Amino acid sequence: MKQILIYVFLILVGLTSCKKNKNEVIVKGKFIGDIPEEIKYSIPINGICYVFFQASEKVDSLGNFEIRLNITNPCFVTFLTKGNMGQLIAEPGENYFVSIEANNRKNKYHIECKNSIVQKEYQKLISPMFPQFEARKFWDSSISVAKNKIDSLNNQEISSFEKLLSDGKISSKIFDLIKFDRTLFYNSLLEQVALYKFVNAKRKNVETNTDSINELWNEAIMRIPLNSVDILKSKWAYYHIQNYLQYKEYMKDGFNCDNRAKAREEGMIHTYLIEIAKKHLNGKVLEFYTASYIISNAWPNTFEKELIPLFESFKTDFPKSKYTTYIEPFIKKIIDFHQIAKLDFKKECKFVDNYQNLNSLDDCLQPFKGKKIYIDIWSIFCGPCKKEFEHNERLKEILKNKGVDILYISLDGDKYKNRWKDMIKYYNLSGYNIRANKKLITDLEKKFGNFAIPRYLIIDKQGKIVNNDAPRPSNIPELEKQL
């Protein structure tokens, strides 16, 4: 009898363990078209979604992947692939299927779930990686016109979701999350417009309408107080807090461009800005903002040494912070970078002779007469450029087999020449390297227009451009076909 009871107990335990956790979210997905090795997504930390706190999952050879999350309230999850983003509004205990059409460097996201209509409508909304860029559309408008346009756009979006709420196609929790998120987004645009007009007026020493600018800025900042219980649930929280701190720095602490300029010149701009944050923030908001500031400035891999002590200070101030795990890999990269920068160049890393005086693409091609070349145009400040360097080992193998030389052309100015050389060491850019002067950059712009980087070219043995927008190293199969 005792054995039977134990057996029954074990079955019940097994059944219980198979049961899905009520807070667990399962996202299954499939890539259609170009299949990457992994998919990155923002990981909700205590329900907080900020795009730079990321996790990743492997994608199998057929394009399938699965993501599991544990959340207690509805929150946003951002997918990051090929430089663009897809948004999922996740609810505890729900299942989702995401299909991603991945072609031509752009992806289309389709989400299937019980509230697919809501997901579809949300995907249509403006959601730039940095709201500052969207705010530029309103810079030339007057104060009143900018405010009316921004508020009108916000109201239109909220109205469409109110209709879904009244039709029973969206829960009140999801509606409240979306409403707050979009309000904070548009409010951030308004704050950016006020900041731009304020700084512009001060720099030009123009006092006209300064009072109206100040009133607009004050109104925008105070609309959503930082002690709001929802403030950190929005994807735009970091930008609102950043705008708040600039408001405090300029309006309350006194506008002084010299203080910022001096800190930047001394290589202490991050320390300067974090000190302002500590002066005006506290608790969870300060923890979130400091962590977000460090990781967003470490993420582009510009390897600024100043971030190392700031991270150590963060760990002291917030010893149990969940953000620490996500920041550490970036800080380790910075430490490794500065150690490698002390070493000599590897013999495979070469510089084109007299590269400082090469004024055109034709000049750059002269040393490679009779050779086929793959050209990589990049910059030390270009995150996607450096991301492509992760595929360099496979790229070198392909180029060697095809008998193709590689030429890296950096668009960085003289003041960054040492950082440029350090990055050549760190990323082991074996092949030939050039740092473009102003005339060469102008020549490239004439040939290719206002082009974005990274940009890749294939040059034949006669020095002619075979492809002026060649496949990236991350797309080795297609590149191999064209070489």
Same domain assignment for residues 477 and 380: yes
Sign of CA dihedral 263, 268, 269, 275: negative
Same domain assignment for residues 354 and 466: yes
Assign residue 51 the CATH number of its domain.
Answer: 2.60.40.10
Looking at residue 482, what is its pLDDT?
92
Angle between helices 210-223 and 143-166 (to 10 degrees): 20
Same domain assignment for residues 154 and 103: no
Residue 450 belongs to a domain: yes
Looking at residue 208, what is its pLDDT?
53
Amino acid, res. 149: K
Give the end of a domain, one of 123, 143, 178.
Answer: 123
Residue 265 belongs to a domain: no
Total of domains in the chain: 3
Window from 42-46, 121-125, 202-206, 233-237 with minimum mean pLDDT: 202-206
Residue 343 has pLDDT above 60, yes or no: yes
The percent of residues above 70 in pLDDT, for the chain, comes to: 92
Same domain assignment for residues 113 and 163: no
Same domain assignment for residues 91 and 202: no
What is the pLDDT averaged over residues 418-426?
A: 96
Same domain assignment for residues 162 and 39: no
Domain of 28, in residue numbers:
21-123
Q: How far apart are CA 42 and CA 387, in angstroms?
A: 18
Model confidence over 384-405: pLDDT tens digits?
Answer: 899 899 999 999 999 999 999 9
Same domain assignment for residues 138 and 119: no
Contact between 221 and 280 under an 8 Å Cβ cutoff? The reply is no
- Of the pLDDT bands very low, low, confident and very high (cuts 50, 70, 90), residue 12 is very low
Residue 454 belongs to a domain: yes
Mean pLDDT of the chain: 89
What is the pLDDT averaged over residues 457-478?
A: 92
Give the end of a domain, one of 255, 288, 320.
Answer: 255
What is the pLDDT averaged over residues 87-101?
A: 92
Q: Is the pTM of this model over 0.85?
A: yes
**455 DSSP β-pair partners:** 377
Assign residue 435 the CATH number of its domain.
Answer: 3.40.30.10
**434 DSSP β-pair partners:** 409
Q: How far apart are CA 312 and CA 35, in angstroms?
A: 38
Same domain assignment for residues 251 and 135: yes
Residue 196 belongs to a domain: yes
Same domain assignment for residues 190 and 221: yes
Residue 462 belongs to a domain: yes
**Residue 433 three-state SS:** strand
DSSP per-residue string spanning 9-72: HHHHHHHHHHSPPTTEEEEEEEEEESPPSEEEEEPPBTTB--TTSEEEEE--TTSEEEEEEE-S
Window from 101-105, 337-341, 471-475 with minimum mean pLDDT: 101-105
- Of the pLDDT bands very low, low, confident and very high (cuts 50, 70, 90), residue 8 is very low
Give the end of a domain, one of 255, 280, 305.
Answer: 255
Amino acid, res. 146: A
DSSP per-residue string spanning 438-457: HHHHHHHHHHH-S--SSEEE
Contact between 102 and 31 under an 8 Å Cβ cutoff? The reply is yes
Q: Which residue has the higher pLDDT, 103 or 150?
A: 150
- Of the pLDDT bands very low, low, confident and very high (cuts 50, 70, 90), residue 17 is very low
Dihedrals phi, psi of 112, to nearest 5 degrees = -110, 125
Residue 98 belongs to a domain: yes
